Amino acid sequence: MTPWAEPVVTGLQCAVCGQQVDIAQPLSFVCPQATQDDRHHELQFVSEVVPFRPFEDPNPFIAFRRYLAIDAFGAAIGLSDGDREQIIRELNLAVMVTTGVGFSRTPITRADALSDELGFSATGGIWIKDETHNVGGSQKARHLFTELIHLVMTERAGVAPWKSVADRPPLAISSCGNAAIAASTLAAAMKWPIIVHVPTFASETVLRILKDLGADIRVCERRESDPPGDPCVLRFREEVANGAIPFGVQGTENAWCLDGGRTIGWEIIQDIGHRTSRVFVQVGGGAFAACIGTSFQSIGVHPKLHAVQTEGCAPLARAYEHAMATGGARNAGQRWNECMWAWETEPWSLADGILDDETYDWLPILDAIADTDGSPVVATEANVVRAHELARSLTDIHVSATGSAGLAGLLQIREEIQPDEKVVLIFSGIDRD
């Protein structure tokens, strides 16, 4: 077992109402003040900023365990250091046995041909972190893995509301693609039933993969009686109200998804140092960019965060403008209704995996943008298409248009970036077509 220092996460606190939640609280998915009809609350992890000294292990959930909230939770409910590490290793083995792929560090390399094409110097350039060979083909499983660890730790410590594995309530998720596949992959590894809520436009490829993984697929049409927003999210919330466990990648529905995704940011800093000037992250629901931003904040490094959406659906950029006009991007939680609401028109883009009606995890993204002097970026559809073409022709990564959308953001503001800057993109989402 790994000898380990004390965990650095000390609790959870709602960014909207200030409600505090003890780190030892089992199944602490949402703010206690949130209701079925009011999800304008979001729990965030409260951490000490400490020196960055990760353990050398190929599994990021072991290497960065000290910094993860899940480790603090396990310690708080009475699991020993050895028990906490063993649970992570056992779950990773189960995933590996089921899928042939376990959680491990993903590569980050300089994209020489792409850097040359976009006019960067030899001392600057574009570094790409490749998440397409991660569990489920994207970064989504990293978010979900800490949710799974939370559930299993709760069981092992004897504080779960269900009495046995046979009594486990089903997992539930709302997703049109990569998150659904990642969640169903982890559920299959654990033999845990899962209900997946997908839109009417979900691809046949995604539906086939979900069926092969044993998911209970629910196609969600928009009902006349539905309020504004994604009908898949509405049906998902109804299922959770009936007893299912939220197992998705919206922090407003399960705060623990905002834990595991941070391992990507920590890997970036460990692998290429603190000289990174900018990181471009594609944004749909927002958990991905939120995790990248908070990972940097937790260890005191501040490359500019650029949160990228498309012109066909850009609720985050709109929220940023309203936040800046009403008091600033930081601490905008109490201005939720003034800043963030569902996109009114039908979302559209080749990057169809980031067309969420709302950026659910917008608060930590705006905080990180404010702290790093970053910005939201709205990419034209022409740049979305060009980014995918460049990614496929100038790298050896079989990435989807959604996964290369960060590059579209770079293309959008390329003239603002100096040739000697070190820029990071994260290609996440394998092209399944």
DSSP 188-234: HHHT--EEEEEETT--HHHHHHHHHTT-EEEEEPPPTTPPSS-HHHH
- Structure letter (DSSP) for residue 313: B
d(CA 405, CA 378): 10
SS3 per residue for 61-99? HHHCHHHCHHHHHHHHCCCCHHHHHHHHHHHHHHHHHHH
For the stretch 252-270, pLDDT in tens is: 999 999 999 999 999 999 9
Q: Structural domain boundaries of the chain? A: 9-98+140-257, 108-137+261-427
For the stretch 315-340, pLDDT in tens is: 999 999 999 999 999 999 999 999 99
Question: Taking Cα atoms as reference points, which of 395, 370, 367, 390 lies closest to residue 379?
Answer: 390
- CATH topology match: 9-98+140-257 vs 108-137+261-427: yes
How is residue 130 written in tokens? 């490749």
Question: What pLDDT is attached to residue 1?
Answer: 45
- Find tokens 């000898």 and name the residue: 3
CATH assignment, 9-98+140-257: 3.40.50.1100
If one counts every other C-beta atom within 10 angstroms of the C-beta of residue 121, the result is 12
Q: What mean pLDDT comes out for the span 125-140?
A: 96
CATH C-level class of 108-137+261-427:
alpha beta
The confidence band for 5, taking pLDDT boundaries of 50, 70 and 90, is low
pLDDT of 377 over the 50 cut: yes
Q: In 3-state terms, what secondary structure has residue 300?
A: coil
| Percent of the chain residues past pLDDT 90, beyond the cut | 87
d(CA 207, CA 203): 6
The confidence band for 3, taking pLDDT boundaries of 50, 70 and 90, is very low
Question: What pLDDT is attached to residue 406?
Answer: 98
Burial level of 19, CB count in 10 A (0-12/13-18/19+)?
middle
Mean of pLDDT over the chain: 95
For the stretch 343-358, pLDDT in tens is: 999 899 999 999 998 9
- 37 or 26, which is more confident: 26
